[in-house]
Amino acid sequence: MFEHFYHEILRKTIISFGTLFNNINIQKKDASDTDFSMMKIPLSYGPTQKFLARLEQSGDLNKSTAMSLPRMSFEFTGLTYDSSRKVTSTQKIAVKDPSTQKKVNKVFTPVPYNMQFELSIMSKINDDALQIVEQILPFFQPAFNLSVELIDQIKEKRDIPIILENITMQDDYEGDYSTRRVLLYTLRFTAKTYLFGPVTRVEPIKQATLSYYTDSAEKRDLAYKVTPRAVKDYDNSVVTNLSADILSSATSITVDDASNITADTYFEIDSESVYIKKVTGNKITIDRARDSTIAKDHVKGTALKSITQVDNDLIEIGDDFGFDGNTFF
């Protein structure tokens, strides 16, 4: 039933959450209220209890190895399904494989999950803690969007709302003068992320055939075969140029050199797609405005670009395609 895959989505979200708070500084002032130093607040991943236990077990203020305050820590504390953001589970996301540029990577639409985080601010001076808190709160009203690339194979990047749920403050100072004081601010967040299933790599559909039986008087078997093709020139392959101006109503054109042009092919003139019906010398009979393009006036010297198999291989995801169909009775 299951196959192994690992997009590291949860890990990426945890790391991205931590980066929000890794550049917070506080200023120290002297007795004359003059700034004399700037301190960057260290940030670590881990439960708050771990840091409080370390403070308690090394509470001797004379030890040079005592843990310094203020500092911050954050922790991933829970994961819950978010039914309010549920989307159709049978739809797929398809993008061109960035490594081959020919195959297509497909993945089902993601499942919404909420990740819970706790950010702890530990300080022995209340002003230090207030400086830190005040640098964080203005950005959450109550959400802050964090852009995260969730899946490398399809370059899927989404905005993950980080919501500030609540804030609590605790003063753990108890005991004699040798006991270290710890002011603890706890900020609880929810990150609304998405989890994706396995990514499949498939070849683009090159041909589709539909066969069905009609229950009519003739009782005929019908088949319709279609082959997708490019509707524009992707590789900028200029074959020749117009040797005279043409109007939007013209059905024949004259080119500088038609030796490399054959009937039953497609060309692009500016943004108009044309079908080559007949070639006589340098005079070409064309069918205008193919593939939902618009017939326009074109001036002398405009390039004719061929639409070939090379362009078919370069078809972009989302291209409307053109279809070459034949009906068999």
Q: Is the pLDDT of residue 102 over 70?
A: no
- Euclidean distance between CA atoms 265 and 278, whole angstroms: 10
- Residue 320 binned pLDDT confidence (cut-offs 50, 70, 90): very low
For residues 320 and 305, what is the distance between their CA atoms, to the nearest angstrom? 19
**Is residue 23 a contact partner of residue 41, using CB atoms and an 8 Å limit?**
no
The pair phi, psi for residue 185, each rounded to 5°, is: -105, 130
Three-state DSSP class for residue 323:
strand
Cα–Cα–Cα angle for 163, 71, 11, nearest 5°?
Answer: 50
Residue with tokens 């009609």: 214
For 231-273, the pLDDT digits (tens) are 888 888 899 999 999 998 999 999 999 889 999 999 999 889 9
Work out the angle at residue 31's Cα, subtended by the Cα atoms of residues 29 and 37, and round it to the nearest 5 degrees: 25
- Residues 50-90: pLDDT tens digits? 666 666 665 554 554 445 788 899 999 999 999 998 887 77
AA letter at 227: T
Looking up tokens 């013209």 gives 250
9-201 CATH fold: STM4215-like (3.30.2000)
Q: Bridge partners of 225?
A: 209, 326
User: pLDDT digit string (tens) for 297-309?
Assistant: 999 999 999 988 7
Give domain limits for the chain: 9-201, 208-328
Distance in angstroms between the alpha carbons of the first and the last residue of the chain? 43
Each residue of 139-170: pLDDT tens digit? 998 899 999 988 887 788 889 999 999 999 98
